[in-house]
Amino acid sequence: MAEKLSWTELRRTLAARAGVTEKEAGEFLAAFNAQLIEALKQDKQVKINGLGTFRLQAVAPRRSVNVSTGEEMVIEGYNKLVFAPEAGVKELVESQPSADEQPTPTTIDPIKKLGEQAQEIVGLLDELNDIRPEEPESPEIPEQPETPEEPAPAPAPKPEPKPEPTPKKYHFLRDTLICVVILLLLLLIGYFFLRSQLTSWIEQLGNKEQVEYVIEGEESDLDEEVVALTPQPQTYGKLITTERITPGSRLAWISKKHYGDIAYWPYLYDANKDRLQNPSFIIIGTPIRVPKLTPEQLDLSSEQTRVNLEYLEREARKAMR
Amino acid sequence: MLTKDLINLIAGATGKSKKETEHLLTTFNAIIRENLMAGKTVQLQGLGALETKTRSERIIVHPKTGERTVSPSKTQVVFKPVATIKDALKNS
């Protein structure tokens, strides 16, 4: 990274490679810069084959706050010059460092693994296919040297009829064997593939069932607890403040601001029930009373609090409809 | 704007033929490519610098399935324009 190709070096190499003088190369580079900028001003985009695209990217104006005075201000929109390398160039550059950084592939991807398995199996099959035809050849090879060794014409026809039927049979057997092996392997691959998919489906189904079950369980628990605990009327202590609703603000945010967690928003709804028809559509400017909550009301680990909050939330959700 | 138009413009500015200009541009591109591949920063005086930046590997989460995979580290080509160019193009 520290290494740089300076402008003078660039000019020198360009002159040498293109077969022009350094002066001409310099003129070219200067013209390149000037014309590129002109072109960018005109077209917002310059595509250079074999390198990439220079483009003017518009940055939208945005609001910000003056850090020292706290005043709101607008940062004007402007254009940014960006460069996107051409696909080929990008790949070339990206492929470069992978050579010196070896431990890169650590993806946990079942599909890839399956693909690799399939490739391995294909490789094995190829090997098998390569081996099988060789085997029938191997018995033939020792036979051939036998024939020239035996000089007598009489024994020569004898080995000929004998080996001829045997290799044929062998071929038959081998072929059927290969077919069977391939079929078996294919079946195995299919089986494993299906099994992995099936298990994932089953897992998904199982998860869904579990989730449903949990929800049902919670609801039944709630009903019991509501009967047992029945906490409803909340009393609120002194008001901390009154928040005025501004565009984009939510009960949950106010809850987070004053109580430290969004979970307490139903209290806010409860305390301001008379002013809020629908907790998800609050009229801008509505003052929201933020009461001080007792430690019990803030205790999320207590069953009672949970029941209270859930009851209030249900009330609020009812109001939303 | 495409390469052809840029060649026309440069040829007009330097007073050379289009063919010569094209040859210069392709060699220019090749030199930049080679240097970037070698991890070098190419400085284009008055314009900016083309450099390579290594992005370290990071864990990415598939938004739908929540699956976590490691995105391998990679090198990217970054262009850093010179301040004057930045300002010149800001309001164009």
Which residues on B lie below 8 Å from A7 (Cβ)?
Answer: 43-45
Range of the domain at B91: 41-92
Residue of chain B nearest A97, judged by CA positions? B75
Residue A113 banded pLDDT, cuts 50, 70, 90: low
- What is the per-residue pLDDT for B39? 82
Angle between helices B18-37 and A22-43 in degrees, nearest 10:
90
Q: Which of B67, B70, B45, B50 is nearest to B59 (CA)?
A: B70
**Do B92 and B54 reside in the same domain of the chain?**
yes
Residue A133 banded pLDDT, cuts 50, 70, 90: low
- What is the per-residue pLDDT for B76? 84
**Do B49 and B25 reside in the same domain of the chain?**
no
Residues contacting A221, CB < 8 A, separation 6+: none
Interatomic CA distance for residues A165 and A162, integer angstroms: 6
**Do B89 and B52 reside in the same domain of the chain?**
yes
- Give yes or no for a contact between B74 and A104, defined as CB atoms under 8 angstroms apart: no
Asked if A22 has any chain B CB less than 8 Å from its own CB, the reply is: no
**Do B52 and B82 reside in the same domain of the chain?**
yes
- Give yes or no for a contact between B72 and A105, defined as CB atoms under 8 angstroms apart: yes
Residues contacting A85, CB < 8 A, separation 6+: A51, A52, A93, B77
A49–B89 CB contact, under 8 Å: no
Residue A258 banded pLDDT, cuts 50, 70, 90: confident
B-facing residues of A in 90-129 (CB < 8 A) are: 90, 92-94, 96-98, 101, 104-109
Residue A239 banded pLDDT, cuts 50, 70, 90: confident
Among A117-121, A222-226, A257-261, the minimum mean pLDDT is found in A222-226
- What is the per-residue pLDDT for A162? 47
Residue of chain A nearest B78, judged by CA positions? A83
Please give the model's pTM, rounded to 2 decimal places: 0.43
Kindly report the CATH class assigned to A7-60+77-98.
few secondary structures
CATH code: domain of residue B87: 4.10.520.10
- What is the per-residue pLDDT for A2? 53
Instruction: Write out pLDDT tens, residues A4-52.
Output: 888 888 888 888 888 888 888 888 888 888 888 888 888 788 888 888 8
**Do B47 and B79 reside in the same domain of the chain?**
yes
pLDDT above 80 (res B3): yes
| Of the partner residues A7, A42, A109, the one whose CB lies closest to the CB of residue B45 | A7
Domain ranges of chain A: 7-60+77-98, 110-206, 239-320
More confidently predicted of A300 and B9: B9
Mean pLDDT value across chain A? 72
More confidently predicted of A15 and A200: A15
Q: Which of B6, B77, B45, B81 is nearest to A78 (CA)?
A: B81
**Do B89 and B45 reside in the same domain of the chain?**
yes
Q: Name the residue type at position A197.
A: Q
Which residues on B lie below 8 Å from A58 (Cβ)?
Answer: none
- Give yes or no for a contact between A30 and B70, defined as CB atoms under 8 angstroms apart: no
Pairing between β-strand B74-81 and β-strand B48-55 as defined by DSSP bridges: antiparallel
pLDDT above 50 (res A231): yes
Q: Is A246 helix (H, G, I), strand (E, B) or coil?
A: coil
**Do B33 and B58 reside in the same domain of the chain?**
no
pLDDT above 90 coverage of chain A, percent: 1
If one counts every other C-beta atom within 10 angstroms of the C-beta of residue A121, the result is 15
pLDDT above 60 (res A164): no
Interatomic CA distance for residues B54 and B49, integer angstroms: 16
Instruction: Write out pLDDT tens, residues B36-90.
Output: 888 888 888 888 888 888 888 888 998 889 888 888 888 888 888 888 888 888 7
- Give yes or no for a contact between B31 and A17, defined as CB atoms under 8 angstroms apart: yes
Overall number of domains in chain B: 2
**Do B92 and B70 reside in the same domain of the chain?**
yes
Instruction: Write out pLDDT tens, residues A269-318.
Output: 788 877 777 766 777 777 788 888 777 777 777 778 888 888 888 887 77
Residue of chain B nearest A82, judged by CA positions? B79
Which residues on B lie below 8 Å from A12 (Cβ)?
Answer: none
**Do B57 and B68 reside in the same domain of the chain?**
yes
pLDDT above 60 (res A210): no
- What is the per-residue pLDDT for A91? 76
- Give yes or no for a contact between A27 and B5, defined as CB atoms under 8 angstroms apart: no
**Do B45 and B89 reside in the same domain of the chain?**
yes
Where do the H-state alpha helices sit in chain A? 7-18, 22-43, 87-95, 110-149, 165-229, 251-259, 265-271, 295-298, 303-320
Beta bridge partners, A46, equal A54
Which residues on B lie below 8 Å from A20 (Cβ)?
Answer: 20, 24
* A97-112 residues labelled b (16+ CB within 10 A) or e (exposed): beeeeeeeeeeeeeee
**Do B89 and B53 reside in the same domain of the chain?**
yes
Q: Is A224 helix (H, G, I), strand (E, B) or coil?
A: helix
Among A60-69, A250-259, B44-53, B78-87, the minimum mean pLDDT is found in A250-259
**Do B29 and B47 reside in the same domain of the chain?**
no
Residue of chain A nearest B74, judged by CA positions? A94
Q: What is the CA radius of gyration of chain A?
A: 40
- What is the per-residue pLDDT for A138? 46
- What is the per-residue pLDDT for B77? 87
A1–B76 CB contact, under 8 Å: no
